[in-house]
Structure 1
C-alpha cells in the first residue's frame, strides 16, 4: 500500500536511479572488456562477498530461506538474474538512445502489472503522471528536437530492455507484497542475500550459455576491477537497499515514476564525462518527470 510521498522517501527513490545511471554509463564504457551477462554474474559475486559477513545466518537451516525458496528464486530471477543481464546485453546490441527510450515505458509497465496481477486500480492522475514522465525522457533523448525521434531505428536488442523493464516492474510489485519470514524481511542484508543466492544460480546458468554459444572473452585489468567494485557496491547493494525501502514507504506504482530519472541522470553523467555542460532540455525534462511524480503521489 502506498503512502504520502515524503522528502525521505523521495531521497531513497532518487538514490537508486542515480546509481543505476552510473551503472549504465559504466556498462557502456566496459563493453569491450567483458561480455554483458558475465558482467552481471561477476557484479553479484562481489555483492555476495560483501553481504556474507553481514547476514550469513540466513543461509542456515531453519532461518526460513530454504522453506521459502520459491519466493526467493523468483525474486532472484527477476531482480538479479534477468534485469541487469538484459540491460547489459541491450547496451551491446542496441544504441543508448533506443535502450533509454524503451526503458521509459517503466511507469506504464508498473501500472499495468499492478492492475492485471495485483488488483490495484489505476488512477487518472497516475496515467497523466506517467505521460509527463515519459515526455521528460523523450525530451532528453531527442535533445529538444522532435525530428530526432523520427530517425530512431528499432533493432532486436530493444526487446532485451523491454523484457528487462517488465521484469523490474514485476519484481517491484513482489517486493511490496511481503511473503517471507519476518526475521529475513526485517534484516535488509539478509533479504538481499537471500535473493542473491538464487539470483547467482540463475545468472550462472545464463553465463554458461553465453560462454558456450558466443566467443566470450574477458580482459582483466584495473579498469574492469574498478568497474566491478562500483557496480557491486553502488548499483547493486546500495541501490537495491534504497529501492526496497522506497517501495515499502511509497509503493511500486510511485517508485516506477522515479525510475524514469535514470535516463536523465545518465545523460547528465555522460555529458560530464565528455566535458559538456547540460542544456535547457535537461532541466525541462527533470521538471516534467518531477511534476509527474508529484501529481501521481496520493495526498492524505
Structure 2
C-alpha cells in the first residue's frame, strides 16, 4: 500500500472530518429520543449495514470484512468498540457543567496521532530533522484552538469529579493508537478494521444500556428517532469511518489529524444553527489557530522531495520549500 500525498489520499480524510462534525447534533437529538446507549446500539447496527453495502458496491467479498488478522481484530475492538462506548459513557456520567471539559479531553486524540506518528514514523512518514518539533507545535496550536473555541468560562471551572475526564482520556488514547496502527500495519481497504467492529460495539452498548436501565426507560420510538439513527449510522458512523481508514492509511496523516481539530468547531456551529444554542465568541479565534496549525503541518510534511544524482553516482535527496 502506497502513501498518497495528493487529493486521493487526503480527500477521504476530509470527508470523514466533515461527517463527524454532525456527530454532536446526532447524539444530542438521538439520545433525547432513545437514550444514549440504545441510540448507540442502533447507529452501530446501521453502520455495520452501511459498511457491508459499501463493500458490495465495490464488488468485494463481504466475508473479507470479517476475515481480519487477530491483531487487527484486537486493535479494532479496543480502538472502535471500546472507544465508542467509553466516550459516550464519559459524556453521559459527566455533570452538565463538565461536558465541555470532557469533550475537550477526548480531542487530545489528533494531537496524540501527530506525536505518536512523529516519535514512531513509518518509512514513508519520516521527516527531516527538526520536523518533529514543528509537528508538535502544530498539534499544540490545534488543541489550543479547540480549547479556545470552547470558551474559558467552561474550561476553567473546577470539575465535579475526574472519572469522566479519565474515561475520555482513555478513549482518546485508544482511538489514536488504533489509527496509527492501521497505517503502520497497512491493513488492506477490502478488510478494513472498523466495519466488523460495529457488531461488537452494538453488543457492548446494548449491554451497558441494560446495566444502566436505559432500555426499560426508553420512550416510545417514532419516525424522528429512526431518522436520526439512520442519518448518523450511514454518515458519521458507516461512511465516515470507512473514509477515515482510507485517508489515514493512504494520505498525509499529520495533515488529516490537524484538520480533525475542526470537528468540535463545526459541531458547535451546527448545534447553534439547528438547536438555537448560543455560539461561543471564541469560535472564530479558535478556528484561526487550527488553520495556522494546519498550515504549519502542510509546510512541514508536504515539502516535495527531489532526487539528484551527484558526480560520484550516489543517490541524494534534497527537500525544496
Q: State TM-score, norm by structure 2.
A: 0.76
**Per the alignment, do residues 36 and 160 of structure 1 end up closer, same or farther by CA in structure 2, a change over 3 Å counting?**
farther
Q: Secondary structure at the match of 1:176?
A: helix
Query: Match for residue 46 of structure 1?
Result: 46
Query: Match for residue 73 of structure 1?
Result: 73
The partner residue of 2:212 within 208, 211, 214 is 214
Q: Secondary structure at the match of 1:204?
A: helix
**Per the alignment, do residues 270 and 284 of structure 1 end up closer, same or farther by CA in structure 2, a change over 3 Å counting?**
same
Query: Match for residue 200 of structure 2?
Result: 201
Find out whether 1:171 has 2:178 as its counterpart.
yes
Query: Match for residue 256 of structure 2?
Result: 255
Q: Give 5+ residue unaligned stretches, structure 2.
A: 305-321
Separation (CA, whole Å) in 2 of partners of 1:29 and 1:160: 23
Q: Give 5+ residue unaligned stretches, structure 1.
A: none
The partner residue of 1:129 within 129, 138, 142 is 138
Separation (CA, whole Å) in 1 of partners of 2:100 and 2:113: 22
Separation (CA, whole Å) in 1 of partners of 2:195 and 2:88: 18
Query: Match for residue 228 of structure 1?
Result: 229
Deviation at 1:49, TM superposition (A): 2.4
Deviating more after overlay: 90-99 vs 7-16: 7-16
Separation (CA, whole Å) in 2 of partners of 1:24 and 1:276: 13
Separation (CA, whole Å) in 2 of partners of 1:261 and 1:267: 10
Deviation at 1:116, TM superposition (A): 6.1
**Per the alignment, do residues 82 and 132 of structure 1 end up closer, same or farther by CA in structure 2, a change over 3 Å counting?**
same
Q: How many residues align?
A: 284
**Per the alignment, do residues 91 and 34 of structure 1 end up closer, same or farther by CA in structure 2, a change over 3 Å counting?**
farther
Q: Which has the larger radius of gyration?
A: 2
Deviation at 1:139, TM superposition (A): 1.3
Q: Secondary structure at the match of 1:196?
A: coil
Deviation at 1:215, TM superposition (A): 1.3
Separation (CA, whole Å) in 1 of partners of 2:37 and 2:157: 29
Deviations 1:5-37 (A, max 9, x none): x56655433332222221122212333333433
Separation (CA, whole Å) in 1 of partners of 2:295 and 2:10: 10
Q: Secondary structure at the match of 1:33?
A: helix
Q: Secondary structure at the match of 2:21?
A: helix
Contact 1:40–1:203 (Cα < 8 Å) also in 2: yes
Query: Match for residue 312 of structure 2?
Result: none
Deviation at 1:96, TM superposition (A): 3.3
Separation (CA, whole Å) in 1 of partners of 2:47 and 2:140: 35
Considering fraction of residues, name the structure with more helix.
1
How large is the Cα RMSD of the aligned pairs? 3.0
Contact 1:76–1:196 (Cα < 8 Å) also in 2: no
The partner residue of 1:138 within 147, 158, 161 is 147
Separation (CA, whole Å) in 2 of partners of 1:204 and 1:45: 9
**Per the alignment, do residues 274 and 141 of structure 1 end up closer, same or farther by CA in structure 2, a change over 3 Å counting?**
same
Separation (CA, whole Å) in 2 of partners of 1:2 and 1:291: 24
Contact 1:19–1:239 (Cα < 8 Å) also in 2: yes
Query: Match for residue 151 of structure 1?
Result: 157
